[in-house]
Structure 1
Amino acid sequence: MTEPRPLTRPHLLAAGVSDDHIRAAVRTGGLVPLARGVYLRRADHDRLDGPGRHRVRARHVASTLPPGAVISHVSAATLLNLDVWNIDLEQVHVSRTGSHGRRTSNLHVHASTWADGDVVEADGVAVTSPARTVVDLSRTLSRDQAVVVGDSALRKYPDTLDLLSATSASARHRNGIARAAAVVPFLDARSESPGESLSRVRIAESGLPRPVLQHPIVLRDGRRFRLDFFWEQHGVVGEFDGAGKYVDRRDLVAEKLREDALRDLGLEVIRWTWADLARFDVVAQRFERAAARQSTR
């Protein structure tokens, strides 16, 4: 679906819409302000999620930038269609050469330097490359947030993996690079959703063995599946149940039959949800019990 273009005050005035009409439309909800003098029609605003609205704002800001300035950080991530989770989207982020940045309520300008390949084009907008975006966000975000972005970058742009080492090295003197150095080696393209990325973080934090991701398996009837998480040595399968995984009751029944088929292979199955990610000790205990049952067989 094509994302809408924002309406600017000059555009509206040129179309014959007065300031009084603009203010009235904002007051009644027909227009929704995105930034000072920038609006979306209510219907366009409501059909976009948070990252979608941020992309619209970022494209508008990009159209006003001088040469040499590019969209960066989380704003670049949204334009590259990377997964962003629990990240503040109030400010559009821009990077430019120089020694000083600045912030307003709607804009964060970063002083930066550039290496070869750091800037690419996304839908006609100059943005930091997937590798540069991952390194910048790994320096400045929490581990949880950075891993979600980084996993999706490796999944959607496979060549990013080969570029991360050099990109990290070129940022070695920048603030937060030690944090990025801890995140980058952990990234894995096989995580297929933010929930799976966060699950990997929680598994590591809990001290559980590292599972194999997206392990292929063949059931007795010949059906083939991939397992979200598989501890082969322990005979335990881990499945993350994200919101929307079961569209209707038939999906739930199919998943139950699949789980029965996995148990028929002699495997233990443990499951967890978004809520469990906030109390992963409960999941760790499920794993320990499942592994203990396997050890007595």
Structure 2
Amino acid sequence: MNLHRPFRGTHAVAAGVLTPKMLRGPRFHRLFHDVYVAAEVKIDLALRSQAAYLLVEGTGVVGGYSAAELLGASCGPRDAPAEVVIPTRMRSRPGLLVRAGVVPPGERCRAGEVLVTSPLHTAFRLACRLPLVEAVVAVDALTHQFSIDPWDVVRFGYRYLGAPGSGQLPEVARLADPLAESPMETRIRLAIHVDGLPVPVLQHPVGAYDLDMAYPDVLLAVEYDGREHLTPERARRDLERQAHLTEAGWTVLRFRAADVLHRPWMVAAAVRRALAVRGVIAADRVSAPRRGR
């Protein structure tokens, strides 16, 4: 029994691996009722989702943000609850979101040892229930990971005509782009779109590098700098990359998480100013940032 993955406490005790007293001690972390993991294991959405599956194995599946996470298309908040879909009565609890329903065999698949909703089913459900921006973020992540046409999500929805939230599916598909490589890239792109600015080209190649978003005609790039850019090795590679882009005549606008998540209008304003300077849009269209969009 691997104690560094979620396990049933009763199974560990029955197998003679642990005692009830050991489970109550500091060596193990209780994730859900009768579900534990070794205390030194990092607890994240993927781990909590694996743990939640042990509660419904044989009757339900993992869905929503949890399914996306286990499918390699991470798009949810770090503190999102683990989500399961189960036909029998079961209550949600802190850290666990339970949805009632039956997922047909053709709409589920395996992610490792966990049964999850399929990429299309997952994209459909998230696109229906989330606000527009977050819905596009989810569809971008899943369509990118599995090379799916966003309009296939709309067509999939024909199986569930009248489903709550399905009315926004065409708009989600229109705004989605499978070339987006991260949720933050999607949010930046949508901030630009909402501001009425020209849509940038995604993953534009410049020599050995791909730019997150670019306006190639005016050599302007827009990129997201995440935490991974703070490591010494990544910082060194970023300097080499920046030197290459500068030599090629490119200007790069970089944004951090706080701007993208909390001040998207400032992101759009910076792009707007840069486009105006380069004559892409009229200078008189540049005004003070409009908050709350």
> Residues 232-263 of structure 1: CA distance to partner in whole angstroms, max 9, x if unpaired?
45542212222212532422421330331232
Superposition deviation, residue 116 in structure 1: 7.6
Cα distance change of structure 1 residues 139 and 101 upon mapping to structure 2, 3 Å threshold: farther
- Give the structure 2 partner of residue 35 of structure 1: 32
Residue 229 of structure 2 aligns to a residue whose secondary structure is: coil
Aligned residue runs from structure 1 range 174-193, under 5 A: 174-193=163-182
Equivalent residue, structure 2, for 1:262: 248
Equivalent residue number for residue 82 of structure 1 = 73
Amino acid at match of 2:72: N
Of 184, 193, 197, the match for 1:204? 193
Kindly provide the amino acid, as one letter, of the partner of residue 190 in structure 2: V
CA separation of 1:274 and 1:105: change in aligned 2, threshold 3 A:
closer
Deviation at 1:141, TM superposition (A): 2.1
| CA deviation map 1:78-129 (0-9, x unaligned) | 2212213326533432143x8x885344544434465683222332433211
Q: CA deviation at 1:31?
A: 1.0
Measured in 2, the distance between the counterparts of 1:238 and 1:227 equals 8
Match in the other structure for 2:288: none
Change (3 A) 1:173 1:87: farther
SS of match in other structure, 2:248: helix
Q: Does 1:54 align with 2:51?
A: no
Identity between Structure 1 and Structure 2 (%): 25
The equivalent of 2:274 in structure 1 is 290
Cα deviation, residue 13, structure 1: 2.4
CA contact (8 A) 2:132 2:172 kept: yes
- Out of 78-87 and 158-167, give the one that drifted further: 158-167
Cα separation, 2, equivalents of 1:104 and 1:87 = 17
Whole-Å separation in 1 of the counterparts to 2:146 and 2:103 = 20
Q: Describe how 1:134-283 pairs up with structure 2 within 5 A.
A: 134-159=123-148, 161=150, 163-217=152-206, 223-248=207-232, 249-263=235-249, 267-277=250-260, 278-283=262-267
The answer on whether the counterparts of 1:230 and 1:238 sit within 8 Å (CA) in structure 2 is yes
1:135 Cα shift? 0.8
SS at match of 1:245: helix
CA contact (8 A) 2:151 2:170 kept: no
Which amino acid in 1 is paired with 2:241? E
**d(CA) in 2 for partners of 1:282 and 1:75?**
31
Summarize the Cα distance change of 1:169–1:87 in structure 2 as closer, same or farther, 3 Å threshold: farther
Unaligned runs of 5+ in 2: 281-293
Q: Over aligned residue pairs, what C-alpha RMSD do you find? A: 2.9
For residues 80 and 216 of structure 1, the distance between their equivalents in structure 2, rounded to whole angstroms, comes to 27
User: 1:238/1:18 Cα in 2 relative to 1: closer, same or farther (>3 Å)?
Assistant: closer
CA distance in 2 between partners of 1:181 and 1:291 (Å): 29
Q: Is the 8 A contact 1:213 1:227 kept in 2?
A: yes
After superposition, the Cα gap between the structure-2 partners of 1:18 and 1:87, relative to the gap in structure 1 and judged at 3 Å, is: closer
Asked whether the 8 Å contact 2:200–2:214 carries over to 1, the reply is yes
Q: 1:53–1:168: structure 2 CA closer, same or farther, 3 Å change rule? A: same
CA offset at residue 32 of structure 1? Answer: 0.6
Task: Confirm or deny: 8 A CA contact 2:124 2:154 kept in the other structure.
Answer: no
Check whether the contact 1:101–1:108 (CA below 8 A) recurs between aligned residues: no
Shift of 1:276: 1.8
CA distance in 1, matches of 2:205, 2:197: 21
Give ranges in structure 1 of 5+ residues lacking alignment.
218-222
Q: Is the 8 A contact 2:151 2:173 kept in 1?
A: no
**One-letter code of the match for 2:31?**
L
CA distance in 2, matches of 1:279, 1:58: 34
